[in-house]
Structures are given as structure tokens and as C-alpha cells.
Structure 1
């Protein structure tokens, strides 16, 4: 594996220094080099270390580095103190009556991106239609909504003026807020924190009394849960609401769901959706969401599918013809321009990135243990899965039908099939496809831990018998190695990492992190897996906390606060399903996602428990995948979905990795279809091969869009980046003993590859890469004019920033390959009259001014040589 395939993140970062703001983000360095030195040397490319005890104690100004958190949601970090001058934020146009403005008491505590969000929401309200506030999680969508409502309801007016408004029949109707049950209390707390509203909760036994208050006009804000609204939608839909706000609005992605149909009946045009994950799985989810907030804004469903969805999906196919790519590009730009009228989408990097030290999202492919591999293969050989794999083959009876349509539609000798159809021996209408989900679950369980496929004593007797029979079949001759087919409750057995590839890698990684003073969030989707990990943490002596679905809501915030405050708490063990909303764990700077989810939004939400406003350290995420298993396909589909979302929502340019097209039988490619789900990937580097293959290719259709000038500009832009990039410095300065010797590019690279492979193998890691480098290929500003890309205000632009803006202006620019970069590096070294190693050492000691002067002279000479 090449050195840039996996860069780690085991370097700790210190808290922000008050004396020298602003600080640079820490470097992204090789995991193998970091593993060789658990205590990274201080100096170049590293922020000064701060001991964990100091970072958790009182700082110079008397404020804790990780302040106690109030039991609120997104806004808890934003309401601590004033952010701006104590003056109202006027929303209405000059001369417009009545004057609409956000009270000064709220406006002074808003960040600038939040003020922009309030203006956007008021524009929607004023024009009597709906829209979506699609900010990343943690940017204060709740606050922006409350600020809008405070302005609309005139909460800054004097009591006498409010009374006059009532007499003039200007009283507003009530506002309905629909949200997950787990955040109802957070909404209540935020309203009490930010403004004086009469708030009622339509949830639980007092619903009739709340309705009476509504009829008497005593309620301004009504909060209810998704489930309650779905059940009582007929009652609530009869009310004329001033505004309806749906929090976590991506829940409206399925037009066939009961919730979606209930929300369609709401009587108001002013519908606001709040969500950080606008699209999760399919482009059509966009239509469903925006057709609710602003009916008809994207045309009919059939028009949207034909005009947008199909061209975008087929244009993203790796072997798509040039005309498909061009049509997809035009439709993408058109869709983004339409969505801008109804959508405001900001990321952390765009808004509060300068207040944080960044995040690295690493995808780590761990080798399964030999026992896991054998069990996984036996599972693929089970009759249930073989029936699915061979479903399209001609039937053995000689009929023209396929096996799934004829004699092999049912699987009487299959353990799983027999259990599912224990009351119907003839099978069901869905046979044999009813086996897909249960078989996928079993493969995922084997990928994570062999103990998961054993029977659970809490299940019904029939299911326990089925699971015991299946476990005996797949363990076969290895059954004694796993302690039999019955569930193992032995502490030493469960906490042993010998037969679990992911836990072996986790064991060594955690040892490295905790020795550096890092705090870790450890997520798993399975409660049983959490039980196993808990025993593992106890055996290793880590101090930890745990939160899952069984944790009472009343105790969750105290667990969070205790973890954030306590230097002794090293690990927080969290269920992915329970930890998706409302948790602010900024004291942790390492996040481990033990098992991937088919929905990429689930994993991203888990990461954002740590990476949010208030985080003072560099956040490093490790997603652990079992190499050669179904989890590789799960992750590849995550990449596919994230790319489609970036294309459709943000208009970004994404590299085309996959041949498969979602929901298209003609182009199942390597991602879709039952046969792909149950492929044996044990002898392949599935994800690695796809990314490496297409990462090197540049389709001719894309090359046609690039000019010589854009290539030159990109190369010049690259020269600077490679000179100050520690990844290249490591590549050329990896061995101080070679000083004075002539070191070639090839020998240096081979040495690093060998070193990486040895070190990663020791950790049980097959290969890895950084997710953001795979998913996000190009900027969202492509296709814009230079004027559109420039900042909105009149601030002075630095030459470095202007250089980046100029580079963005070239549509679909060609990225220099690694070989081109190395050749350019070699040319610069020759220009300086130095060997590669000597030149690299000079870079380490050169100042920024010296680098700038050298680059200017080199480019001038290069230009003269070209002209000559």
C-alpha cells in the first residue's frame, strides 16, 4: 500500500493558546510513523502539547477548557455569553410596518452565520412559503428558529405595544413544532432560555387540557413528537397554524410513510424543515422533503425523477458516456439553483471552522481473525444464502424458469428459511427474497464478533433453537474454540481479542491514544456488542461511562457532564441509535465507530457528538471495517450515497468510482443486487482496488473541459502545498542515516511502503484511507463566476486566499498525479542545486518568506524557459 493510503491521527493537539491566535490545524501524518513513536517529538508541524490534567483544569482566565454543559440541545454552547453588540437585528425592509426585528437580548448572542440563517427564515416567512434550514449538526438551527419566532411575535416590544397589537387583531396564530421525543425537553429549555413564550407540550396524558388552552388562545408554541402527531394528526391538522417547524426533517423522506401523509394535511404554507442530513439514501428523498415544505417547487414526482434523478445517477457511472456526463452536469447545476430558493445549507468548515482544529475521518479495514474467516465462508455456504446466490441460474429440472422461480423458491433444508416459515411450509409470496435481510444480519454479526451469532437467552425459545442450530453449522469443527454454540457469559472469554479482528486493532490503538491523554467515544449499533466491549474495557482497566437505549432520559445529561468534566474518564461507550441526538461530548478527541451503518448519516451523526462548537482539540475518527466482508460493500454504498448527496444538494464535483446505478437492474455493477451482497470478498481488496483504480483514471470527457492554463495554475498551486506538506517531507526524510547519500524517489517510496505494511500488519490493519479525500473531490462553487465565488462583504482578500479563489474558477480542473508532483519536486531541488534529501532538510529549516521568494524565482525562471 502506498504511504498516502493511510494517514493517521494519533498526534494529540493542545488547547488553543490565548497568546498566539489563530493556530494552524495539526498535520495529517502517516499512521505507521505515529505508531513507531507514541510520544511525538515537539517542534515542526505540531502544536504545543498540553497535559490532559491542565486542559481539564481551570485555565488562565478562570474558565474550564471543557465547560459544564446545560441539558439543552444545539444551542447550549451559543447561549453562554454575548457574541456581538447589544442591538436588535432588523429583518423587515426599510419603511415597512410593523417593524420586525430580533430582540437585542437574542441578537447579541448570535454568531454571524446564525444571523444570516434568521434572515433566510424570515424571507421564507415574508413570502408565505416554506423552506429548509440545512446547517450541519451543532450550528444552532434551534436558536435560529427561536430567534425568528421572537421577531415574528414581537418579543422585543413593550407590554403596552403588545396589547395594542392584540386590539388591532394582529395577534399571530400558534406555532407547531414536531420533533423526536428525545428532544422535546430540549426545545422547552431553549425557549425558556432565549425568549418569553407561552409553550405547551402536546404529549402524554394532558393532551385534552392543552387543546383547551389552544382554543382559548393561551398557547403560542405547541411542541409534539413525531409519533404523537402521526396518531393525532386529524385533531392537530384542523388548527390554522402560523408556522410549522419539523425538526430532524429528514424523517419526511418516505412519501409512503404514515408520518409523511399526516404532515401533508397541516394547514399552513409556512413550513420550515430543520435537518443537517438533507439527503441520506436516494435523490428522490429531496423531492419528498421539498414537496412538503414548498409543494410544487420541484414539479411533479415523475418530472423530478426523469429530469433530475435519472440523469444524475447515470452521469455518475464510472463508464458513463461523455454526453451522459454533460447532461448530468447541466441538470445538477439547474437543481442546485432551484434548491437555493428554498434551502440554506452551511457546513462547520464554512462557518465555525476557524474556531476549531479540524476533523479527520479515517476508514480502517481490519483483518478478520482466521477463525472469523472460516466461519464467514461457512455462512456463505449455507443453503439459505446459496439459494439467493443461484437465484438467476437455470433450474436443474430443465424448465425455462430460473431457480428462484421454480424448484428452489423455498429452502426446506435452510435453518433460517425453516424458522421464518415454521407456520407456512409452502413459503410466502416473497420467497426466497425474504431471506435477504436475515442473512445480511448474520454476515454483519460474524464480521464484528462471533459471539453475536449465538442465541440470545432473552429471545423466544424457537428463535434460540434456530440460532443455536445455525451457530453449530457455521462453527463446525471450530466450535470448541468459541466455547460452544451457547452464548458465552464468561468474562475472560468475552473480553479476549484473539478471535475478533476489530478488537485486536482497537486494543492497540486505544493503548496508544490513552498514553497520549486522549479521550475516546466508542460507538456500536449492537447492544450485545456494547456488552462485549464493556467487558473488554474492564479487563484492560479503562475508566469508562456507558449510554444506550436503556439509559433513562433523566440520567443521560448527567453522564455527559460527568464525562466532560472528569479527567479520569477515558472512554464513553455509546449506542449509535441512542447517541444520535442531543449529546455534546467535546472533551473527547478520538471517535471509534465499531460497526458501519447502511445509512451514512448515522455514522456522521455519531462523529458530530465530539466535533462541534466548543471542541478545543483536533478530532480523529476511526471507522472500523472487517476487510473482505460485507462491511466493505456497506461502506462503498455509503460513499456512493454521500457522493450523490454532494452532487444533488451542493452541486459538488465527485470522482466516478462505481459502475453500479441505484435502483437500475441494467447497471447493478459492483454495488447493487443480491449476488453482490453475498459475494465472497475474502481474497480481494474490494474497496481499495476500486478507489485506487478510479483515483488514477481521468476520463477523457473531463479532460476535455480542462485548459492548459488551468493545468498550469493547478500545478503552481500544488508546488506550494507539497513543499509545506509533512506527508512529502516524511516521504523524503524518513531515514536520517541516509544523509549524504543519493536517495532516489523510487527507493524512498519502496522503503516507506515496506515500513507501512509492517507497522499496519502489527496492528491488524489491512489498509485504510481518509473518507473526506475519497468522497469530496471538488468544490461546490464549480460553474460559478468569479464574482459569485468572492466573499459577500468588502473585506480585503489576502493573496493566498485570492489564489485559492482563482483556482476554484476553473471547472473540473485536472488534478496533478502523484508522479507529476514528485517530478516537479525533483525539478525544484535541481533548480536549488541540491539533492532530494538535502533539499527536504532545507525546507524544514526555511521560513515562510524564504519559501515564497524561492517559489517566485523558480516560477519566473520556469516561465522564461517555457517562452524561450
Structure 2
């Protein structure tokens, strides 16, 4: 009997022991119902008995017709989301819509909100998004669900709008405004609270995550294509927002799941997967491939010219000796900043000598880029060019101007209105064939389906960030094959970054089933390889 009861004791510390009884979070009911029957446990409190009875009368997630007023049609997997949202709301649970980038998460949520309005459910949803997505939500709502009244609660004039929230179906705001106006926003009991790109609250200690948790709502939803990037703590933070207590307290979650799964404990991994599965809906592009053209990814290897290679080797040797000596003396944990500095400088040197403060010289990547862009433009295609380094993008733009290649440009300092204008211009058939974008500024919130080529000039540590960049063009509405190319300087840090990326790809691998493992930390051996 003890062996059968043990899974119940392992569910989470929201299962609080009180003398001979254990109390659990309501959201554990789906799992506990199964575990309780396996353990043949009869003594349950009235709430759990009522919950089990509700489960017994629950036959299946009922089919839900799309809203009549929807201006357009939903694909089959998007239609399924409406049914899932209804299921969550019926049982009082929040959820994470974790579809791959480009699969139309916004239209799915808008359709469900419109459905609630058509059902005469008077409700107001607070939707929190990155600043760059404000105009995208407004445009999508106007295009597909014009019946929804949307209020843009951002900008300097927003204070005048505080008293009229209930008159709207959707209140759109940003994470920045959420932090600034949390005292105002928490005064409203929201019917629905929705976080788009919810990885913004992945750090539970951040002011953004704390502000989100303060708000009161009947139903909560997270939307993100990358719910897990580096560690399980990010998943805990988002679940603590949508279903507080489901995964227990943070420390015990770390002890019970993060540490044990990192050590290869399959039972704990399976238990975590069972816990989160009902509340996480994730479809990958591979699962809905019939709705998207194929995406092909390749690498363009670039040889560094002699002057660049000399500069690279000089930087590498300098940091290699300094870092390894510091690690040996202080340990890796206390040498983190020095390691990051060295890796950054190597990545910059692999792009262009000017990025490390040296005199301009030929760049292998820049030369290859110009050759490939000229060929692509001549064939009538459009291309996105991404780099983390705005200084490198400046050098690229100067080269484009020298070669007479028209382009648009966007980085983190580009104003919202200017961003929208440049996106519209690029999307136009007569618009420029190239769009230069800083990797982080353009990673989310842009629909750039006019492009069918993507060039990533410097590989990023986190493959999820690169994937988001590629997905700016490989998304629904794309009618062409998409080709993504990563520019890699041979015999450089670039090649080693690609190897490190492979270590992190397993984070997404088990997400569809529920959980993931922790990322292996850098070791001294890793550092020797990176700086070799």
C-alpha cells in the first residue's frame, strides 16, 4: 500500500500534511483522481469528492463552433484550441498555449474572446504584450474580430482611460506599463488575464513576474512559443501565474523536480509531465506541416581573411590564458563575468575586426553576405539579415549602400510607428528586398512573410532565439519555401557555439510531453574547447 500512496506524497508541497490527512491544490485533481483510484484511497474531503464526481460526468472536451462573426476561418488545430479553452474555463484552470512560432496563437485567443461575447458573456480581458506587439494585436483584432472593442492602454495619455475599462472587451497594455501601473491595474477584477510572449515572466524574481502575480483574474492564459529556454524554473514561474500552487513552492519544486530530473530521474520527469499536460497545449510545425511550406536550414561557412584571422587568434590567446588562470584561482562560479566577456569578444572578432576596436579590415562573413544577397536579389527574392550586434549591422548597411542594395532597418531603438511603417514597406511587393534586424529586437512580434530567405550573421547561445528570428517569415500566410542560413566563421567560436546549441535543444524536445531537463553548466573542459 505504501508504494501506491507514495506518488500522492510526491505531487507537490501544496499537498500539505495535516495530522493524518494531506491537502492538495485543486488543479491536482485530474492527476489525483487517477492516483487515488490506483491506491484505492477512499477518504477524501468534500471538495475533492465533488471534483471527482464532476470528472466522472465529464465525457470529453466538447466540440465548439467557431464564432459566427469571425472574419476568416480557423485551421483544424486552431479550432481545437477553442474547445481546450472552454475545458480549462469549465474546471477553473489556467493554461499555456505553447504552439510553435507562426502557428497563429493570437487569432486563436481573439476567436475565443469573440466567442465569449457572442455567448453574451460580458467580460473584459487584460492582454499584456511586448511593446512591439501592440499594433499587431490591434491589427489582428480589427481584421478578424472587428466586433471586439479594443482599448490601447499604453502611452502618456493612458491615465485618462482608467475609469472606462469595463466598456471594452480587450484592454491592451505592455509589460512596461504593467510594472508602472500595477497599483491601478490590480484594482480591477479582470475576467481574463492573458500574457503574450509570457517568457517575459520566466524569472519569478523579476518585477514583471511579481506584478503579473498581483493582478486578480477569473481565468489566466500564457502564450509563448518558447515556454522553456534554459531551465525548469522558467516553467514554474509561468505555472505559478496561471495555477498558483500547482507545482508547489519554488524551493521544493527545485528539489523535487529540477535537481532530480537533471540527474536523470525518469519517474519525477513523468510525474511532472502528468502534472502539466492538461494545462499545456503545444503544436509544433511538424505536427501541422500541411499548413506550412517546408523550412530548410543550412550553414554558410566563411573563411576569415588573414588580417581578421590574426586579430581573432590574438584575442583568443589573450582571453584563454586570463580566463583559465582565473578559473583555476577563483573557480568557475566567480569567473562568470570574465568568461562572458571573453566569449563576447571572440564572437565579435569572428564577425568583423571593427567590432573589437581594431582598424577595419576585410571580413569573411561580410564578403559572403554581399555575394549571397546579390544573387538572391537578382533572382527576385527577399531576405532578412539578423545580427545581435548593431555595430555589425551598421557595417552591413554601409556595404549595401556601396553596392546599391536597398534595405529596411530595425533595432531596439526604432520607434513603434517607424517600425510599423518599415515592416509595411518591406512587405510590399515593390518594397526593398532586404531587411536588416537586430536579433533580439526582431525576434518577436513581426510578420515578415514577404521574405523567403533568412541570414543569421552570428549564432546565438540560445537556439530558441534564433528559431524565433527564422519564424518571422516561416509562419502561416507564407506561400513559399523558406531557407535559413547561419553564417559561421571557420575555426572560430562560431563552430563551438553551434555545438553548445545542441546541448540546449533538448529543452524543447520533451516539452510536448510535459517536462524538460536542466542545461549542463559549462565546465573547465568546455572553456578549453571554446577558447581553443
Deviation at 1:649, TM superposition (A): 4.1
1:309 matches 2:246: no
2:347 maps to 444
Q: CA deviation at 1:616?
A: 2.0
With 263-272 and 568-577 compared, the bigger mean Cα shift is at 568-577
For 1:653 and 1:574, how far apart are their aligned partners in 2? Answer: 31
Question: Could you say if the C-alpha distance between residues 653 and 306 of structure 1 is closer, same or farther in structure 2, counting changes exceeding 3 Å?
Answer: closer
User: Aligned pair count?
Assistant: 471
2:311 aligns to what? 375
For the 8 Å contact 1:313–1:644, the answer to whether it is kept is no
Measure, in 1, the Cα distance between the counterparts of 2:152 and 2:516: 44
Cα pair 2:150 2:168 within 8 Å, conserved: yes
Structure showing greater radius of gyration is: 1
Contact preservation (8 Å) 1:630, 1:677: no
1:590 maps to what in 2?
Answer: 453
Aligned to 1:391, the other structure's residue is in SS state: helix
Corresponding residue number in structure 2 for 1:538: 401
SS in 2 for 1:390: helix
Residue equivalent to 2:18: none
Give the Cα separation in 1 of the matches to 2:80 and 2:228.
23
Contact 2:409 / 2:437 at 8 angstroms: preserved in 1? yes
Secondary structure class of the residue paired with 1:539: helix
In structure 2, the partner of 1:404 is: 330
Residues 125-167 of structure 1: per-residue CA shift (max 9 Å, x gap) = 22112011111222221111122222223x366xxxxxxxxxx
Secondary structure of 1:242's counterpart equals strand
1:179–1:226 Cα contact (<8 Å) kept? yes
Distance 2:408 2:248 in 1: 49
SS in 2 for 1:573: strand
1:275 CA displacement: 0.7
Q: 1:153-192 deviations in whole A, cap 9, x for unaligned?
A: 3x366xxxxxxxxxxxx744x3211111122232233333
Contact 2:327 2:335 in 1 (8 A): no
- Which residue number corresponds to residue 263 of structure 1? 212
- 1:106-130 CA distance string (max 9 Å, x none): 1862222111111111211221120
Equivalent residues in 2 for 1:274-289 (5 A)?
274-289=223-238
What is the Cα-based RMSD across aligned positions, in Å?
Answer: 3.1
Deviation at 1:440, TM superposition (A): 2.8
Structure 1 position 581 matched with structure 2 position 444: yes
State whether residues 194 and 220 of structure 2, in contact with CA within 8 Å, keep that contact through their aligned partners in structure 1.
Answer: yes
User: 1: distance between equivalents of 2:215 and 2:440?
Assistant: 29
Aligned to 1:396: none
Q: Per-residue displacement from partner, 1:446-470 (whole Å, max 9, x unpaired)?
A: 111101111xxxxxxxxxxxxxxxx
2 CA distance for matches of 1:652 and 1:228?
32
- Whether the 8 Å CA contact 2:301–2:487 is kept in 1: the answer is yes
In structure 1, what is the equivalent of residue 297 of structure 2?
A: 361
Separation in 1, partners of 2:415, 2:511? 39
Residue 153 of structure 2: which of 202, 213, 231 is its match? 202
Is the aligned partner of 1:186 residue 2:136?
Answer: yes
Q: Secondary structure at the match of 2:221?
A: strand
Show CA shifts across 1:392-427 (max 9, x none). Answer: 54xxxxxxxxx338xxx9xxxxxxxxxxxxxxxxxx
1:136 is matched with 100
Relative to structure 1, is the Cα distance of residues 581 and 541 closer, same or farther in structure 2, using a 3 angstrom cutoff?
Answer: same
How much has 1:549 moved relative to structure 2?
A: 3.3
- The runs of 4+ residues in structure 1 deviating greater than 6 Å are 651-654
Could you tell me whether the CA contact under 8 Å between 1:130 and 1:269 is conserved in 2? no
Change (3 A) 1:335 1:370: farther
Match of 1:389 in 2: 324
Q: Displacement, 1:236?
A: 1.3
Q: Secondary structure at the match of 1:569?
A: coil
Give the corresponding residue for 1:676.
Answer: 526
SS at match of 1:120: helix
Deviation at 1:260, TM superposition (A): 0.7
> In the aligned structure 2, how far is the partner of 1:404 from the partner of 1:652?
34
* 1:423-822 superposed matches below 5 A: 433-454=336-357, 471=358, 482=359, 499-566=362-429, 569-650=432-513, 662=519, 672-673=522-523, 676-677=526-527, 679=529
CA contact (8 A) 2:348 2:355 kept: yes
Report the Cα offset of residue 385 of structure 1: 5.5
1:338 is matched with which residue: 252, 275, 287?
A: 275
For 2:192 and 2:251, how far apart are their aligned partners in 1? 29
**Match status 1:297 vs 2:233:** no
Q: Distance in 2 between matches of 1:147 and 1:269?
A: 19
Provide the rounded CA distance (Å) in 2 between the counterparts of 1:586 and 1:200.
27
Residue 175 (1) aligns with residue 130 (2): no
Distance in structure 2 (CA, Å) of the matches to 1:176 and 1:539: 48
Contact 1:280 1:599 in 2 (8 A): yes
Kindly indicate whether the alpha-carbon contact (under 8 Å) linking 2:64 and 2:82 is maintained by their aligned counterparts in 1: no
Please report how far the alpha carbon of residue 389 of structure 1 lies from its aligned counterpart in structure 2 after TM superposition: 1.1
Query: In the alignment, which residue of structure 2 is the partner of 1:783?
Result: none
Alpha-carbon contact 1:176-1:222 (below 8 Å) kept? yes
- Tell me, in whole angstroms, the C-alpha distance in 1 between the residues paired with 2:168 and 2:385: 42
* Residues 586 and 612, structure 1, Cα contact 8 Å, conserved in 2: yes
**1:245 counterpart residue number:** 194
Question: How far apart, in 1, do the equivalents of 2:515 and 2:222 lie?
Answer: 23
- Flag the 1:198–1:507 CA change in 2: closer, same or farther, 3 A: closer
What is the rounded CA distance, in whole Å, between the counterparts of 2:172 and 2:239 in structure 1?
22
Q: How far apart, CA to CA, are the structure 2 residues paired with 1:580 and 1:376?
A: 28
Aligned mates of 2:427, 2:148 — CA distance in 1 = 31
1:281 and 1:175 map into 2 onto residues whose CA distance is 30
- 1:652 deviation in Å? 10
Deviations along 1:59-79, one digit per CA (max 9) or x if unpaired, are xxxxxxxxxxxxxxxxxxxxx
More strand per residue: 2
* CA deviation profile, 1:805-848 (whole Å, cap 9, x unmatched): xxxxxxxxxxxxxxxxxxxxxxxxxxxxxxxxxxxxxxxxxxxx
Task: Give the conservation status (yes or no) of the 8 Å contact 1:279–1:645.
Answer: yes
Distance 1:220 1:616, change over 3 A: closer
Q: What is the TM-score with the length of structure 1 in the denominator?
A: 0.50
Which residue, 76, 101, 111 being the options, matches 1:112? Answer: 76
Distance 1:359 1:247 in 2: 25
Identify the residue that residue 712 of structure 1 maps to in structure 2.
none
> Aligned partners of 1:186 and 1:371: how far apart in 2?
45
Q: CA deviation at 1:333?
A: 3.8
Per-residue displacement from partner, 1:48-101 (whole Å, max 9, x unpaired)?
xxxxxxxxxxxxxxxxxxxxxxxxxxxxxxxxxxxxxxxxxxxxx99xxxx996
Give the one of 109, 117, 127 matched to 2:91.
127
Cα separation, 2, equivalents of 1:680 and 1:204: 45
